[in-house]
Amino acid sequence: MEERFITLGEFIIKKQEDFPYSSGELSRLMNSIRLASKIVAQKVNQAGLVDINGAFGSENIQGEQQQKLDVFANDVFIQTLINREIVCGIASEENDDFITICGADGNNNNKYVLLMDPLDGSSNIDVNVSVGTIFSVYRRISDSGTPVTQADFLQKGINQVAAGYVIYGSSTMLVYTTGNGVNGFTLDPSLGTFFLSHPDMKISEDGAIFSVNEGNFNQFEQGVKDYVAFCKDDTSKKPYSSRYIGSLVADVHRNILKGGIYMYPGTTSKPNGKLRLLYECNPLAMIIEQAGGKATSGTQRILEIEPTELHQRVPIFCGSKNMVDKLESYL
């Protein structure tokens, strides 16, 4: 079969051999994510036609105004995973605490926990800008058959079994890795099927795009300011292009395809930055590294940071390896 006609379902089955210890659970988990993402994609495409835009009327644990689509996407992913009894626990950016999933006997023998940002950039829906879902999968460390504990979720990024994102834009794409490279699948809406469209995705070692919210420039540490100035004034070639969408998945996705660096540094008012380690930085760092790039907090490799709380924030700089190396030389 030609590679362009490989579906996500066929690809998942084919890649099961990468996991000699697998019992098919991870494959079923990925299939559940596939289903939930198609439901969310359909609702995103209806924005403006149905009452799904705007604020929901409550705040999440981070004190951020929840959007209606945040709540919808969160419910869809959680219910899809619970109904199929695939994971033993879920943690979401939209929930105060993790969710323990138990069977009728109060136990759960499943291997995996899932962490997610169900709809990153949802405030951009009203202006028709791409948004996304980010997910991260770990093997539980608590005893099988017992309820999950917080320790199952507070694992370093290097322990991730799988990570990925779905981008809802001009087309819907699902990009994921299980530690053996990165592959992207595009949804054919006429068939309701994801097809392999971007096999073995790689990010170039060099790039010419830098992505940062320069509105915070005066609050950046001096090294970040100096690097931004370098990007604008590098005399060895024409200045880099500044491209910042404000939707994390869209910015990172573009830089993977085009080459570039994404930066969300700490500021004087928010020294730990804005992005969450477990729901955003770890899964995207795994994808970036698997694609040949680099991800750092400025002082430490993202995937080696020891989490201390579910909603922990960290600065992040990720993308083309040489660009991140250059940034680090300024810090």
Rounded Cα gap, residues 184 and 201, in angstroms: 7
- Going by the annotation, the residues of the binding site are 93, 117, 119-123, 213, 244, 274, 280
Q: Judge contact between 75 and 83, C-beta under 8 A.
A: no
Question: Comparing C-alpha atoms, which of 44, 81, 80, 38 is closest to residue 192?
Answer: 38
Rounded Cα gap, residues 56 and 54, in angstroms: 7
Whole-Å CA distances, 229 to 212, 217, 236, 239, 262? 12, 11, 14, 10, 15
- Going by the annotation, the residues of the binding site for Mg(2+) are 93, 117, 119-120, 280
Q: Which long-range contacts (CB under 8 A, 24 or more apart) does 299-305 make?
A: 299/331, 302/157, 302/277, 303/156, 303/157, 303/158, 303/160, 304/156, 304/157, 304/158, 305/156, 305/157, 305/277
- Going by the annotation, the residues of the binding site for substrate are 120-123, 213, 244, 274
Q: Is the dihedral of CA 245, 249, 254, 256 positive or negative?
A: positive
Q: Which residue has the tokens 């694992």?
A: 155
**Count of helix runs (H) and strand runs (E) in the chain:** 7, 15
Nearest-5° Cα angle at 135, 202 to 141: 110
- Phi, psi (degrees; rounded to nearest 5) at 198: -130, 75
State the alpha helices, DSSP H only, in 151-281: 222-233, 248-258
